[in-house]
Amino acid sequence: MKKLILSMAMVAVASVAFGQKKVVKEAEKGFKQGTLDAALTAIEGATTNPETSGDPATFLLKAQIQTKMFARDSSNTMETVEIGNQAISTFSKAFEMAGSNKTSPVGKAVYAEELPGIPENLKPYSLLSLKNISFDKALKMYEEENLEMSYEFFNLAGEIDKADSTIHYNAGFLANDLGRFEDAKRHFNYLFEIPGYNKTNAYYFMVQILSTEEKNPEAAFDIVTKARKEYPNDRVLAEYEIQLLLQLNKMDEAMAQIKDALANDPNNAGLLLRSGYLKEQAGDLEGAMQDYKKSVAVDPNFFEGNYYTGALLLEQAQKELNSLNDLSDAEWEKQSPIVGKKADANYNESIAFFTKALEIKPDNTDIMIILFQVYSRLKKTAEMDAMNKKISAILGANWQDN
């Protein structure tokens, strides 16, 4: 009797096991035939049953079903992304259950390569398939100008492959464009870890995010210092380094870097401007003027060069006029015409630079007002009236009262 009961129990256990394996077979059949909702329901039952939940192949099949569902979902919404994330999680569980061994049958299936043009019935729907499908969706969304979803699919593909430079550059670029700066930094940091990859553009973005968006010049300078060690001859990084040194008030270091940079690129208008600025701060006004004027000679349409040259000419004129304040009445009478003539020469010279700056930025009312004041000083009535009309058209007739 005991033998009979035991035999019946063994039959029952075998029947349950067979039943669960049958469920897995049904899920596999549904996966191949494309009845994916029914296949997913079946395989989810198998993943919770003690008879089949310990088999990594069960979770592999579930991940493959999820990947196929992800591929077929043409809505390309956040719900689609969630399906993809679930597939990644299921692939990870299957791989872990298989001992995280890429040479095991399950490990090979998880990381199976998908050959271009392979027939549908032979597609592996592996983790790498999921990456490629997500990449294709990202490109499609970008072409449709849906940058938010394009980023989400690039990001999903990047979660699968941390070393794919194309994916992470695109994801970082889009995240930056969307104002998602933490996400952008994460993707650019992945790029920094890829051996042999040209990271200069990633460094440019990272410096701009840290210095401009996050207003953290110290962190930006640390990144530039690291970047300059890798790319010592990159001119853009050299200029960023100088700009950050100026922000951090490290004038001596900035001047040394500018001299080195100008030795390699003597006609760089931006470097000449910074050199002039440092000389002006150090009190070398003659040297500053030479650099400012050279920056404009190199690039006549360089707004900052024209503006800084004109501003320094006005500063010199004002300094000359202020020197009269310390003179006695007799000396003032004697020197006033001489000093006034020198000051007026600077005022006159500044007109050409401010006029060019206004030509470059024709709506800049600050420059218009400067020119109005210069014309007033020089008693150029016609020019003053013309400038007044231009300013009044923008700021109103009572602009001088504001």
Within the chain, which residues score under 70 in pLDDT?
Answer: 1-20
The span from the CA of 203 to the CA of 220, in Å, is: 10
pLDDT at 50: 86
Residue 369, H or E segment:
helix 365-377
pLDDT at 160: 97
Structural domains of the chain ordered from first start: 1-161 (1.25.40.10)
Q: Which residues contact 47 (CB under 8 A, 6 or more apart)?
A: 53, 58, 59, 62
Q: Which residue has the tokens 């002006």?
A: 280
Q: Which residues contact 261 (CB under 8 A, 6 or more apart)?
A: 235, 238, 239, 242, 268, 271
pLDDT at 2: 47
Both tokens of 186, joined, read 């994460």
Sign of the Cα torsion 211, 148, 150, 160 reads positive
